[in-house]
Structure 1
Amino acid sequence: MHQPQKINENLERIIRSHTELLEILEYLSEIQPQAYVCAGIIRNLVWSYLHGQNYVLKRTEVDVIFYDADDLNQVHAQYLSQQLSQRFPKIEWDVTNQAFVHQWYRLESGECIEPLHSIVEALSLWPETATAIAVHLLKNGHLDVIAPFGLTDLFGLKLRWNNALVSHEIFMQRVNSKKFLERWSNLKLIVDE
């Protein structure tokens, strides 16, 4: 079980200054207190902020994750997706129960991955260190963050491959298809350390 940790002051300031994201976090806290907003929305918001760019969520995909090993039929994920779509219809929602990722994720060999045991473990497998960040609003109004690689790469504008699951080739395909280096010119691609 993840223990809430104090969020980085810079990240908290950036999130709290983004009205749309804060509204999403507040609503999500009401309907599913264990769910986190994660991945691209956090990464893109911070990188845009650090580049002096405005980050607008309209027509953006927002990833929401939670962990519930008892939700065998994915009813809860469907419910969350429906509720979020109704409340925020101009956003594309990707709601995923990390307890069942192993059923559909395949390694390059075609084999399934082992079942995951937590959100922390799930994030630790994501392709880039700066993407492996999840945030949610606690009932007391504090923000909680899960960042297995920390926030140094995110705020240091470092695009670093996490080799825990995906190949370097897949990582580079993501770098190119998402146009990270074109969108944020001050990013540093960390090739080898």
Structure 2
Amino acid sequence: MKYKQDLIKILNSNPKFMMYLETAHRLGLKNYCVGAGSIRDTVWSYLHNINTVKYKDIDLAYFNKQEDRIKEEEYEQQLNKLGLNVEWDVKNQALVHEWYEQKFGIKVKPYTSIEDAISTWPEPATSVAVYLNPNNQMQVIAPLGLDDLFNITLRRNKKRISQKIFEERLKSKDMVKKWPNLTVIRS
């Protein structure tokens, strides 16, 4: 995969991101990953020569059909009690279909895997996640590739996000101001 080694190098060089990834790894979840905005912000800060990444939250996704939403909330509370100065957002992707329609007004089918779930995240640039394997080596999940992430390009993932929601996300996250080299593709 193009840019895979670049991504691993950038993430490994960021002590704060690695602390969050190692913290997630220590939970012992199978089929877990850290991804979305934390990876986008780390890479785009690096590409913009910004030394400090301000993480709003850390998205920890995992896939376990045997667990319920209560367990998901327990993991989130456990992580948020660690005092790492970041909000953790923990979601069992095997359960997203149970609550997504109520929250966003769109019915979704159950995901078949963590990769299937990541392929529907809002933008290709944020449809990226990583995890540590049993040998503590970083593994990359990027079902839509890494081109948009490394080309500092933002476009909606048409699998899930409407143009209206994309525009709202763009505005609410102030991305154009935050990332001066950002190319936005509206379609």
Q: TM-score, normalised by structure 1?
A: 0.87
1:64 maps onto 2:60 in alignment: yes
Measure how far apart 1:109 and its partner are. Answer: 9.3
Equivalent in the alignment of 2:76: 81
- What are the within-5 Å matches in structure 2 for residues 99-178 of structure 1? 99-106=94-101, 110-178=105-173
RMSD: 2.2
**Corresponding pairs, count:** 186
Amino acid aligned to 1:68:
N
CA–CA distance in 2 between the matches of 1:98 and 1:136? 15
Question: SS in structure 2 opposite 1:13?
Answer: helix
CA–CA distance in 1 between the matches of 2:106 and 2:92? 20
Q: Which has the higher helix share?
A: 2
Amino acid aligned to 2:100:
Y
CA–CA distance in 2 between the matches of 1:110 and 1:176? 20
Stretches of structure 1 that go unaligned for 5 or more consecutive residues are none
Question: SS in structure 2 opposite 1:102?
Answer: helix
CA–CA distance in 2 between the matches of 1:98 and 1:53? 32
One of 43, 48, 60 as aligned partner of 2:45: 48
Q: Do the aligned residues in 2 keep the contact of 1:107 with 1:113 (CA within 8 Å)?
A: no
Q: Do the aligned residues in 2 keep the contact of 1:133 with 1:146 (CA within 8 Å)?
A: yes
Amino-acid identity (%):
38
Q: Which moved more, 1:31-40 or 1:143-152?
A: 31-40
Q: Which moved more, 1:105-114 or 1:152-161?
A: 105-114
Distance 1:114 1:49, change over 3 A: same
Q: What per-residue deviation string (whole Å, max 9, x for no partner) do you get for residues 114-155 of structure 1?
A: 111111111111121101011111121210111111101100
Q: Do the aligned residues in 2 keep the contact of 1:124 with 1:132 (CA within 8 Å)?
A: yes
One of 27, 30, 33 as aligned partner of 2:26: 30
CA–CA distance in 1 between the matches of 2:120 and 2:13? 29
Q: TM-score, normalised by structure 2?
A: 0.90
Stretches of structure 2 that go unaligned for 5 or more consecutive residues are none
Measure how far apart 1:63 and its partner are. Answer: 0.6
One of 8, 16, 41 as aligned partner of 2:12: 16
1:182 maps onto 2:166 in alignment: no
